[in-house]
């Protein structure tokens, strides 16, 4: 039986991680893997997470299952964090998932249950795992224009033209903030135009929000998701706690479904629980429990928000430093977009040959499409990257 299996394509980012690990050069810089790192190159445990873990260790009395959809308290806390007062709580169903990836997988499954012929519109480019999961599920994908490689901004007119081709029963996948892999984002006026297209076509939006708090702030990064939720009759939201709480290995995520009325919310809640049961039964609870404790405790929440803001400002500082260094070296503002992008990533728009040259000649590792992880830099390595890019002729 196993002899009939086919070799699956290797994950390019995981391959890049291994190449970096095997590189003996002491000056090597990893800008590939999408994990936040501080100035020391470490991914620390946030102070509030440490404090909550200590409390949990002292107070927890059981490791028994919670519920198929996870702890209702986690759902309430996350719905409040992401949606605020944008919609009535009774119109939102939710289920905890193993990370944002699990939330996306369950969202695609649910969309297919609702419409076996569903098409999913995805930005060009998007997070590669979106495409991988959709292909594995056999769901048709339609790409819409998003990144303008000339301006390194959003091809907004092209995006609207392509989204206008959607129809009722289709799912339109959007990045809530800090677009991965480009770092280029819509402003609120552009989001309103997207909402207008969605209402005209009757397509259902799905927002993947994995970096809330990494862009312009917790509330600011949620603004687009809240605008969409308050404007359309129904939508899906996949949220991750991996980045903004730093609980990567705890696999903490949630899938929300916003419906037009409470009756449909009961139906979607049952469907979410059903999907969890078919996939992994009960979702992980440890990370979700920590997140719930932090969001419901004023002191822990304040400390978490303060540390998250330090992380956000650090990345903005690195962006500005890199843009300034490249401006000095090139005598132009062609890389000024780096300071305007938001989140962990920016797509530089350089060729695969330049990316290879950065790796081979300068021990700087980036994804082949020229996406770099800004959080993989520090004040000392920013000049090294700028000089390397300049030496590569960009």
Which residues are annotated as catalytic?
127, 208, 210, 243
Contacts of 195 (CB under 8 A, 6+ apart): 227, 228, 231, 232
Q: Please give the Cα distance from 170 to 204 (Å, whole number).
A: 6
d(CA 394, CA 194) in angstroms, rounded, equals: 34
Q: Please list the helix, strand and coil fractions of the chain in percent, rounded to the nearest 5, in that order.
A: 50, 15, 35
Which residue, chain included where needed, has tokens 């819509």? Answer: 186
Q: Beta-strand (E) ranges in the chain?
A: 29-30, 92-98, 119-124, 140-145, 147-148, 153-154, 171-175, 204-209, 235-240, 252-258, 345-347, 364-365, 371-373
58: exposed, middle or buried (Cβ count in 10 Å: 0-12, 13-18, 19+): exposed
Q: Report d(CA 154, CA 353) in Å as an integer.
A: 24
Strand residue runs (E) in 324-388: 345-347, 364-365, 371-373
Rounded CA separation 39/99 (Å): 26
């Amino acid at each position: 039986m196993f002899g009939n299996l086919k070799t699956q394509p290797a994950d390019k980012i995981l391959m890049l991680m291994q190449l970096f690990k095997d590189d003996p050069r002491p000056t090597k810089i990893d800008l590939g893997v999408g994990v936040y790192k501080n100035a020391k190159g470490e991914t620390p445990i946030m102070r509030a997470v440490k404090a909550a873990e200590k409390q949990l260790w002292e107070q927890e009395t059981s490791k028994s299952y919670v519920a198929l959809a996870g702890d209702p308290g986690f759902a309430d806390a996350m719905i409040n964090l992401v949606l605020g007062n944008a919609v009535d709580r009774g119109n939102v169903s939710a289920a905890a998932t193993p990370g944002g990836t699990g939330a996306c997988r369950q969202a695609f499954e649910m969309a297919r249950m609702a419409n076996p012929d569903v098409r999913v519109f995805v930005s060009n480019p998007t997070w590669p795992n979106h495409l991988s999961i959709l292909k594995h599920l056999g769901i048709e994908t339609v790409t819409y224009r998003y990144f303008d490689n000339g301006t390194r901004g959003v091809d907004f007119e092209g995006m609207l033209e392509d989204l206008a081709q959607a129809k009722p029963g289709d799912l339109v996948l959007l990045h809530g903030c800090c677009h991965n892999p480009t770092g280029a984002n819509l402003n609120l006026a552009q989001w309103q135009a997207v909402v207008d297209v969605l209402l005209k076509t009757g397509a259902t939006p799905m927002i993947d929000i994995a970096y809330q708090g990494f862009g312009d702030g917790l509330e600011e990064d949620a603004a687009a998701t809240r605008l969409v939720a308050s404007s359309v009759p129904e939508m899906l939201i996949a949220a991750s706690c991996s980045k903004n709480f730093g609980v990567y290995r705890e696999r903490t995520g949630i899938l929300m479904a916003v419906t037009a009325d409470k009756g449909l919310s009961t139906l979607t809640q049952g469907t979410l629980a059903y999907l969890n049961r078919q996939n992994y039964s009960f979702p992980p609870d440890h990370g979700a429990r920590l997140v719930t404790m932090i969001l419901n405790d004023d002191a822990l929440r304040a400390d978490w928000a303060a540390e998250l803001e330090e992380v956000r400002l650090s990345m903005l500082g690195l962006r500005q430093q890199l843009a300034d260094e490249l401006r000095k070296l090139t005598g132009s503002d062609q890389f000024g977009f780096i300071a305007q992008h938001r989140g962990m990533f920016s797509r530089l728009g350089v060729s695969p040959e330049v990316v290879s040259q950065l790796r081979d000649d300068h021990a700087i590792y980036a994804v082949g499409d020229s996406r770099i992880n800004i959080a993989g830099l520090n004040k000392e390595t920013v000049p090294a990257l700028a000089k390397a890019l300049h030496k590569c002729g960009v």
